Chain A
Amino acid sequence: MSQRRSPLRILAWSGLVLILLVSIQQLPVGQRLNLGMAPLLSVLQAPGRWWQDATLWLHTRSQLQSDYQHATIRLEQQSTLTQEVRSLREENRQLRALLDIQQIRGYHWHAAKVQGRSPDKMSQRLILLAQQAAPDDVIVSSDGLVGLVDHAKPGSAVVRTILDAAIAVPVTIPGTALAALVRGQGDRLMVDFVPIENAPKAGSILQTSGAGGMFPAGIPVARITKVEPIPGQVFAKVDAEPIAHWQRESWLAMASATGRAAQ
């Protein structure tokens, strides 16, 4: 006698498995898997590091001398720039005091090395090598905002970038009354709550407003690519792209709120 399973039973099992999968969806299983894999990623990247180190041994004396000369010139240029930065910082401090603008304070900044990233073309998630990371720490590149730490363990952290739909960033354009929200759409950003009358032009740069206290104010977030008024609606449909390019960056900055860092 053949043992044919009834379609109803198969359907019931499939439903049960689907319910189980959807409930697991709420748990941070993927994040924990990535954190567990972090030491192994370092092992996989070791041959690349060895190759880099080995090439240094193969440098000839003349190459080393020319590198040294270049380094000396750059050092001189940088010390001049440092002087300029100091005087500009002082000038900036005085101007901010005059205009009564807040500085980015209350955050402890440190560097973190990118150890891995999700393989989708926009790299929506990152794995960082960081000693003092904590959930909700803000990640910033040299260009702008990258995202937030989702989970962390001693030595590594996983980051959700602003392209992830789970993150919403309060933004503004300095000098305007705009208070909008940037949300991730996978491969682009969407800006919510932009009134049609005061809609900024394409190309405008949105910065963090600091509202909500999660992100420090004044960090560039997105460049507006398209503004489309919707007839009969209060708010325009606004598309944007991230300012930061984290797909190829090796190092990123991490800002921990000093209150959180103390904990």
Chain B
Amino acid sequence: MIAPFVLLLSLLGIMLNLALAGLVVQPDWAAALLLAAILAQRGNWVWVLPGFWIHDLALHWSSLVCLPVVALIPFFLAKADEHLGPGRPQRVLLMFAGLFPLLWFGWSFSQWLLTMMVCTFAWYFAARPDVSPA
């Protein structure tokens, strides 16, 4: 069950973003982790979307930053998987789409790029199949 773990890390990420902004260039930790969770398993939208809502409110005082775009990802992912078969290209494209609003809402390009990197890294770990002992 990764939900509490990812949500707790995301909350810590939001606080790091607020506490250290202006001191160091840092990615949007929460967006990267939550997006990775939804890309790894689209059924995670149930807890990822409220997470994005908190993220948008805490960092931008608005509910309509990343949430509206990320809310469409499970739907598009289901459609794309149905037509193209489960694969990475559509997920990479949706990762770009999910993080694009950050650029629009004033994040610098370097922060955006870092967020993509953290998201890819987290996605890799979240998507690894569980290895159970024989």
Contacts and interface: CB of A to CB of B under 8 A. Distances in A.
Interface string B16-42: 111111100010100000000000000
A259 interface: no
A211 interface: no
Interface stretch (B55-63, B82-90, B122-130): B55-63
Interface in A40-56: 40-41, 44-45
Given A21-B67, A118-B60, A37 B107 contact: no
A120 B58 contact: no
B5 interface: no
Contacts of B63: 21-22, 24-25
A107 B106 CA distance: 33
A25 B62 CA distance: 6
A116 B21 contact: yes
A127 B26 CA distance: 18
Interface size class of B (residues with CB under 8 A): 20 to 34
Contacts of A122: 106
A187 B106 contact: yes
A117 interface: yes
A262 interface: no
Contacts of B9: none
A169 to B, nearest CB: 19
Interface in A167-189: 186-187
B15 A247 contact: no
A120 B22 contact: no
Contacts of A25: 62-64
Interface residues of A, number: 34
Given A21-B63, A119-B59, A125-B61, A37 B18 contact: yes
B60 A21 contact: no
Given A25-B63, A37-B58, A247-B22, A44 B106 contact: no
Contacts of B108: 121
A98 interface: no
A37 B15 CA distance: 7
A31 B70 CA distance: 23
Contacts of B22: 117, 123, 247-248
A34 B16 CA distance: 12
A33 B54 contact: yes
A44 B15 contact: yes
Contacts of A22: 63-64
Contacts of B21: 116-119, 123
Interface of B: 14-22, 26, 28, 53-54, 56-64, 67-68, 71, 105-108, 111
**What are the nearest 4 A-B pairs in CB distance?**
A120-B106, A30-B61, A116-B18, A30-B57
11 contacts: A21-B67, A30-B58, A33-B58, A34-B61, A37-B18, A45-B20, A115-B19, A117-B18, A117-B22, A120-B105, A121-B106
Interface of A: 14, 17-18, 21-22, 24-25, 28-31, 33-34, 37, 40-41, 44-45, 115-125, 127, 186-187, 247-248
